[in-house]
Amino acid sequence: MGIKRICVCSLVMCLFFLHLDTFAQKKGKKQERKGYEIKFIFKEIPDTLLYFAYHYAGNTYMYDTLYLSPKEPYTFISKKDTLLPRGIYSLANQGKVKLMDIIIDSSTTFSVKASSSHPNSIENIQFINSPENEMMNTFFSTMTRYQRKIYSLADEIKKEETSDNPDILQIAERKRERYLYQDSMRNYMFNTFDNNPHTLFVKAQRLLYDIDMPESPRNTDGSLVDSNFEYNYYLNHYWDNMDFSEAALLYTPVFHPKLKTYFDEVVPPSIDSIIKYADLLIEKAKDNPELFQHIVRYITDKYERSKYVAHDAIFVHIVQKYYAQGLCPWTDEAVLERMLTHAKKLSNILIGRKAPELYMADTNDIFHSNYEFNCKYTIMWFWDLDCGHCKSMTPKLIEFYNRAKDSLDFDVYAVCNADKEKLKQAIIERQLPWLNVGGNKANMDYRIVYEVTSTPVLFVLDREKKIIVKKIGIDELEPFLRNYEEGKIRY
């Protein structure tokens, strides 16, 4: 897994050039704020209405629709006596294309002027009575000038290097100039951050930049002490630039992508690692109720809905450690009960756990256990006579059984949702070669215990009857077993 580095030159404009396609109508929870009034004075745009929207949890939601003021020419006004949370807001034209971002921080009554028909251009915007937005505008304007000069020098360097007779001295001079501009840009950026540490703009901007990476330790011969040093340092310091006391970062377009990247690309994909770093992150947010709630809910939803079969262990862990301990008061009682019940059921059939022992009768009323096979693998096959997918998949399992049963050392414990007589007939007609049980005679309701909500469902147990995989397709079964035999499967 590589370290995803963030380029200063490309991401410094992220907040400004983030485009919106559409606005949803749902609104997130707001912080307590007094009323506000913001005037947008745009003399040359053709629009008769604008959209004012806010960011929350990775989405953009409508907050207000602005119409031309009948009393003030060229002016769109957003004014309410209701709450307006601190955050980054977006203004879009009537085609729902974003024109600009603004910061709502300490100023709640201010004006925005555009000097041309392009209010999405930094140079054309003026903020009045909003120091934080003036700072943001100055910052982006200055950074843009630096970037333009750096790109221009890069073009000159490339042009000279690819010429028929490159001037080595000129190339060296241009590279020196480029380095000086890059250094100046970086100094300007961090001076802005250091001089305005408590502003929401700076807190949001800091999240866009990677942590400072120390040199990797080396042995006396110059070789690396640890080839994974950079990755491990990055993983363990990923959140160093995050202010966990600032809930308003939830209302920006920068926090949620960073959270998503953390679990999708940074945290090791093993179950134990995900649980470890999820707990560490939740611990960082424990003193900020809104951040704590968002992070816990994000992790819960992500791993409850995950397509990966082993991720339900993460969901179970989060539910048992946080929801079951009364640490999630935002959860409706009925929803909480559903989550606790679901987690309890899943906890019995997690990968790595010993499968619940099931006793069911065959067509001769002889009871059999899913533990009775003394082979390397037991395949539990839950199916139904009338299930269309079962009809197409069962012949594939028969073919695999007849071909690889001995070489892979497995057997099949097939559980059919049918009465004895119908199952007898099916065994003959479909030439089912394995142990078949079914009907209603059993020591448990397997549909509940094994979460068989639809058919077919497949579980694979090892010799100790521990679950090693579940709910995969027949086409995935043989590749899984062969990879497992070679030690290639890790959770």
Average pLDDT of each block of 10 consecutive residues along the chain (491 residues)? 41 41 43 77 90 92 94 93 90 92 92 74 83 94 95 95 92 96 95 95 93 90 91 96 97 96 96 98 97 97 93 98 97 97 96 97 96 97 94 96 96 94 94 94 95 96 97 96 92 80
How is residue 56 written in tokens? Answer: 């929350």
Residue 442 and residue 465: Cα distance in Å, rounded?
19
- What H or E segment, with its residue span, contains residue 232? helix 229-236
DSSP 324-372: TTT--TTS-HHHHHHHHHHHHHHHTS-TTSBPPP-EEE-TTS-EEETT-
Q: Is residue 438 part of a domain?
A: yes
Question: 410 to each of 79, 403, 413, 465, 485, how far by Cα in Å?
Answer: 70, 11, 10, 12, 12
Residue 94 identity (one-letter amino acid): Q
Pair (426, 467) in one structural domain: yes
Q: Is residue 158 part of a domain?
A: yes
Q: Is residue 2 part of a domain?
A: no
Residue 385 and residue 13: Cα distance in Å, rounded?
60
pLDDT of residue 490: 80
Q: Is residue 308 part of a domain?
A: yes
The domain that holds 37 is classified in CATH as 2.60.40
pLDDT of residue 82: 83
- What H or E segment, with its residue span, contains residue 88? strand 87-92
Side-chain half-sphere of 408: how many Cα atoms within 13 Å? 24
The domain that holds 411 is classified in CATH as 3.40.30.10
Contacts (Cβ under 8 Å, ≥6 apart) of 231? 1, 2, 3
Q: Is residue 94 part of a domain?
A: yes
Query: Three-state SS across 191-219?
Result: HHHHHCCCCHHHHHHHCCCCCCCCCCCEC
How is residue 458 written in tokens? Answer: 């497949």
Query: Which of 347, 382, 414 delimits the end of a domain?
Result: 347
Strand order in the sheet with 467-470: 435-438, 410-416, 377-383, 457-461, 467-470
Residue 149 identity (one-letter amino acid): K
Q: Is residue 354 part of a domain?
A: no
Pair (365, 333) in one structural domain: no
Q: Is residue 220 part of a domain?
A: no
**Domain with 288 in it:** 229-347
Pair (476, 367) in one structural domain: yes
Residue 284 and residue 276: Cα distance in Å, rounded?
13
Stated pTM of the model: 0.85
pLDDT of residue 117: 58
Pair (292, 342) in one structural domain: yes
Neighbours of 370 (CB within 10 A): 23
Helix ranges (DSSP H) in 22-127:
none
pLDDT of residue 121: 62
Task: Report, in angstroms and rounded to the nearest whole number, the Rg of the chain calculated over CA atoms.
Answer: 31
- What H or E segment, with its residue span, contains residue 229? helix 229-236
Cβ atoms of 446 and 452 closer than 8 Å:
yes
Query: Which of 150, 173, 206 delimits the end of a domain?
Result: 206
How is residue 164 written in tokens? Answer: 């028929």
Helix (H, G, I), strand (E, B) or coil at 424: helix
pLDDT of residue 35: 86
| Angle, alpha carbons 168-169-174 (nearest 5°) | 100
Kindly tell me the burial class for residue 333, based on how many C-beta atoms sit within 10 Å of its own C-beta (0-12, 13-18, 19 or more).
Answer: exposed
pLDDT of residue 251: 96
How is residue 482 written in tokens? Answer: 């062969």
How is residue 358 written in tokens? Answer: 């099931």
| Angle, alpha carbons 375-381-387 (nearest 5°) | 160
Question: 305 to each of 43, 66, 311, how far by Cα in Å?
Answer: 49, 38, 9
Pair (117, 174) in one structural domain: no
Phi, psi of 381 (to 5 degrees): -120, 105
Query: Which of 130, 163, 193 delimits the end of a domain?
Result: 130
Pair (194, 252) in one structural domain: no
Pair (193, 241) in one structural domain: no
Pair (478, 442) in one structural domain: yes
Pair (257, 298) in one structural domain: yes
Domain count, the chain: 4
How is residue 174 written in tokens? Answer: 């241009």
Q: Is residue 215 part of a domain?
A: no
Neighbours of 258 (CB within 10 A): 17
Question: 355 to each of 10, 168, 465, 468, how far by Cα in Å?
Answer: 51, 71, 6, 10
Pair (126, 144) in one structural domain: no
Pair (390, 425) in one structural domain: yes
Residue 241 and residue 255: Cα distance in Å, rounded?
11
Residue 122 and residue 148: Cα distance in Å, rounded?
14
Pair (43, 82) in one structural domain: yes
Cβ atoms of 46 and 97 closer than 8 Å:
no
